[in-house]
Amino acid sequence: MSKIAADFGIQDALKALGIKEINEGTSTGSNHFSSGEIISSFSPVDGSLIAKVKTTSKEDYEKVMSTATTAFKDWRTKPAPQRGEIVRQFGDKLRELKEPLGKLVSYEMGKSYQEGLGEVQEMIDICDFAVGLSRQLHGLTMHSERPGHRMYEQYHSLGVVGIISAFNFPVAVWAWNTALAWICGDVCVWKPSEKTPLCGVACQNIAAEVFKANNLPEGISCLINGDYKIGELMTHDNRIPLVSATGSIRMGKIVAQAVAARLGKSLLELGGNNAIIVTPDADLKMTVIGAVFGAVGTAGQRCTSTRRLIIHESMYDKVKDAVVDAYQQLRIGNPLDENNHVGPLIDTDAVAHYKNALEKVVKEGGKLIVEGGVLEGEGYESGCYVKPAIAEAENDFEIVQHETFAPVLYLLKYSGDVENAIAIQNGVVQGLSSAIMTNNLREAERFLSAWGSDCGIANVNIGTSGAEIGGAFGGEKETGGGRESGSDAWKVYMRRQTNTINFTTELPLAQGIKFDL
């Protein structure tokens, strides 16, 4: 074990989460282990091997699906409030294990320890939300045009929900889907990112303990591990009516086509190219806080990270100077050390994409005003630490049009009124998160109107990054159109049914049609 892992209690965290052996296997909740190949989980914090995880073979996948489909037949018969009680217990277990799980998230993924704890808190919050929801899975009643008839609609459990999650939120996104799916009477098969497999094993261990204590089938929560090939088994599987996938736009298009080909449903949370508009009426201090955290939080590896700062020409130099000054104060290093602001990228492939973006923006005519670069030397041995960079650019640059999962912020200038800024913001294929900094009511309302931001999330006087679980989370255009978490996002995990009851002795036909026999 490395010195950092020893100093920050990683071994104790793994033990608390039930990860005791170096060769933890794929588990459906009990003692079934995969016969697949082994993948190694290396920490981007110090480059050390944390543990090895067995991937899921095709034979193992069939066992998992058999276990899940069998469990569904039992789970869907439980009244929703009883399912809510199980989710409540799961949330309480997360409260007990918040510190070790948050520590594992930080060490395996590379985000700051505070963010790791925050991610586990999101899991707890969605459990609380889901418990309340368990008594509110309501439909509608409506009047029939036929006398003596009653019409209503209700929602039923959907079945097996397949979940494919990304490395940047290795536990929260799974919980967003799972807590709601469980409440709805569904069972879940989860493929976490192959870059953060231990977080998946830890969550599965926690869930399995809760289900076992309540004498419930293990297949309510299932885990599979591996690369895109194991994900393909889910996307092509008719036994999985809904696939929820979080990741890149490229990945999402592949998933969407595969699921649509069998007329299944997909819930897609894909890339973001998020912008903050800064108008002449913006509060400078709030702008800097929102822009800097949005751009460098999680080392720029959030789907809601701020990529573009669209600044009015009258404020441009003032905002630029303030943001550049704030960047000079950033501390980059071990994310488990709470004195640091920015941790590492997930791996050296991500570093290569970061370097390519900086080279490309200069080649296209941009100017780096905060130089980037890869950090070396003591504390940076993993090769995954980079300097957050800022470049002056144009919105039509090819590199600006794409999402770079790294701390690279592009400054864009606009003139005229806020409509011009909104046009720039909307001028990308992604449509996840957006924000405007202004104290002008008309500008704010214009931004939030039907002809304003085209994103799924639009904020006023807060940044693009971060979202409360009470609201539906997701985006438009090539972000995929999916919605997770709060509001009525639960409906995607259920099937809608319209019912008509005739309580007369006659059988009148709709639209007055006569059919005498």
Distances (CA, A) of 450 to 100, 309, 447, 456, 480: 44, 22, 8, 12, 19
d(CA 192, CA 231): 10
Burial class (CB in 10 A: 0-12, 13-18, 19+), 152: middle
199 is an active site residue: no
Contact 171, 101 (CB under 8 A): yes
d(CA 129, CA 124): 9
CA atoms within 13 A on the CB side of 22: 4
d(CA 135, CA 40): 42
d(CA 19, CA 11): 9
477 sits in which H/E element: strand 476-477
The pairing of strands 38-42 and 49-54 is: antiparallel
Which of 303, 384, 403, 478 is flagged as catalytic? 303
Beta strand segments in 387-441, E: 389-392, 408-414, 430-431, 433-437
Determine how many CB atoms are found less than 10 A away from the CB of residue 204.
Answer: 25
Hey, what's the torsion of the CAs at 253, 219, 199, 165, to 10 degrees?
A: 10
Return the DSSP state at 509: P
State the angle between helix axes of 98-109 and 197-213 in degrees (0 to 180), rounded to the nearest 10: 160
Distances (CA, A) of 436 to 426, 441, 471: 13, 11, 19
Which of 24, 122, 269, 403 is flagged as catalytic? 269
Cα 119 from chain centroid (whole Å): 10
Contact 313, 413 (CB under 8 A): yes
Hey, what's the torsion of the CAs at 466, 243, 31, 107, to 10 degrees?
A: -30
d(CA 74, CA 264): 23
d(CA 409, CA 189): 36
State the DSSP string of 42-70.
E-TTT--EEEEEEPPPHHHHHHHHHHHHH
Q: Which of 118, 221, 236 is nearest to 177 (CA)?
A: 221
269 is an active site residue: yes
Contact 176, 485 (CB under 8 A): yes
* Catalytic center residues: 269, 303
